[in-house]
Structure 1
Amino acid sequence: MAATKPIAAPRPTPGVRRGATHSGVTHVRAYQSSHYTIVGNHLAQHRALSLTAIGLAVHILSLPQGAPVDIRSLADRFPEGRDRIAFGLRELETHGYLERVRERADGGRFVTRTYAHNAPALTRSRAEAPGIRDEPVVSVAPVTRAVPVAPAVPLAVAEVAGAEGADVPVPEEPPPVPLEACEQEPFSSEHRDKASALLAGLRRTDYRFTLSRKDVERLTPAVVAWFDNGASRAAVIHAMTADVPVPLKSPAGFLAHRLREGLPPPLPPLSPFTAPGEDTPPAPVATTPKLWGERWKDCEGDCTRVLPTAGPERVCRDCRARRAATAPMPALVPAPAV
């Protein structure tokens, strides 16, 4: 009988420290100086998200600014179909990791901006907490000059149909205006609350206009001056956010310059119907509209249609065609013999 040889234990992988547990995963972490993405455990271990949604969220957070994240682009990148990708994106929207906003761009076009939140709960708590100023976040994309971005929108992706590869003229930023030029003495106006709410909500239109509470208080008198001169809310927003230069160095100074230089004159009073010394124009004669029975008449055919009273027709077109089709044919008279 042959002797039984004992099975040798597998040797551990060289360079890897043996784990203290007998089963399960053992992490082998190597230091990375670049090309990595920080993902919170609230996303990686989310109980309600599917594995497809978690993978999509990690992939979107690793993309640079401006990368397309629509369903077609993701379906071309991954083997999953469009239905699974669309379902995963809806999951991320439901739990706050993705936000799609329809915004108006330059030239009157509408674009869909996708905001990817790496920590939606933290962003929401900071936005709701009073007296906390948003800290600037530097984009991870390789740019010549870092643009401050509010933490509420750590990744903004613009998906513009037909705008890829087009040369768009970039306006130049005017010289910044000191905010002290917009400061005035304390005042009370009926438009103060509306102006303050407009300035605080500008970040919904463009994330670059995320203003601090102090900047909002300084710019409020300038917006109130627009409202006092008869400008509408849409006109004020368009005057402040149209043709914004890239990059925007000082959002508050840029808005102060726009509000000061573009202030419209007050609306003139409504002119009276007559000037002094002129004859009073005759009062307009009130005309009584005709009744329904005076404007329309019934068709004399077999239908229930109505015809205009002013027209010469007494029978509608369909009744005339029906009568012509049912009318007897005239008898043929033989030609006389020659």
Structure 2
Amino acid sequence: MATQHHNALTRVLAELPGPLPAFGVIHIAIPHTSRFTIVGNHLAQHAELSLVAIGIGVHIQSLPVGSLVGIKALTARFADGEMRIAAALRELEAHGYLRRAHVRLANGRMATRTVFCNQPGALERAGRVVVAPKVPPAVPEEAPAVPEEPPAPPPAPEPDPVPESHPPVRVPPRTAPKPPRRPLPQPRELTPELRQTASAILADLRNHAEALVLSEADVEELIPGVAAWLEREVHPGAIRHALTADLPKPPKYPAKIVRHRLTVLLPPQLPGAEELAPAARRPLVIPLQNCDGCDRAFRSREPGHCRGCRDLAAAA
């Protein structure tokens, strides 16, 4: 892409009329069709204003009527500090570009009215202030003629667009989609007793954690989650401890914290008596085998000889 830009620039420079200077800046003037501001050279090339003051003056002139141009607003917009911006505003005020006056509003309060004049010399000659809304026209207006300004150079022809050799690469977003939020636990049956107890537990949370102040709508929404805990025979004190222990400081969204804990900390159902009872022991049954010697039956895990045959074999 850098080679294409370099070739396009060389092509435009070759089409400029007249010989090019050996040094210094060369202007490539492409006419604007939207979003532009006419700035006089008396401001852009001011011999006594600093670059910061000239830049802030051009910026203020490009803003619509009613925009904030105080020190705080400009400091939030630019990287310069408050001292440099305040000094630049004083420069513009000293040379007549900026005027600040304290006026009393209809309600009796005092306010600072800021007026920016794009031609202080013309203002002094006319003796009046003309404030016009900054609405970009569809067709650029001609700037008022200033004798001391040189005529603008003729616009250069627009270069032909250079076709791209490769299609643009679309980069997927870095942030992956969040997983769907887990639903709030629901009881098998929300009885009036469960509803009353769950509502009391939720409303009483602020007595144990001052930050957990829930609205009536939040309590009504979270009642099924607490009822699901109560249905699983969780003591109200244990529910209160699970919802109020180790809270972030300060918790920004109390209802979301309570909902999250009711969902992710839900304990399992208590096992029944049958599940807790030990398994019944079965009697040990040794299978019957036929003796290989006398063919009598005897109990043994493996086939072979009975005890009598084994004793006779041992005595012999």
The TM-score by the shorter chain falls in which range? 0.3 to 0.5
* TM-score, reference length from structure 1: 0.35
* TM-score, reference length from structure 2: 0.38
Larger C-alpha radius of gyration, 1 or 2? Answer: 2
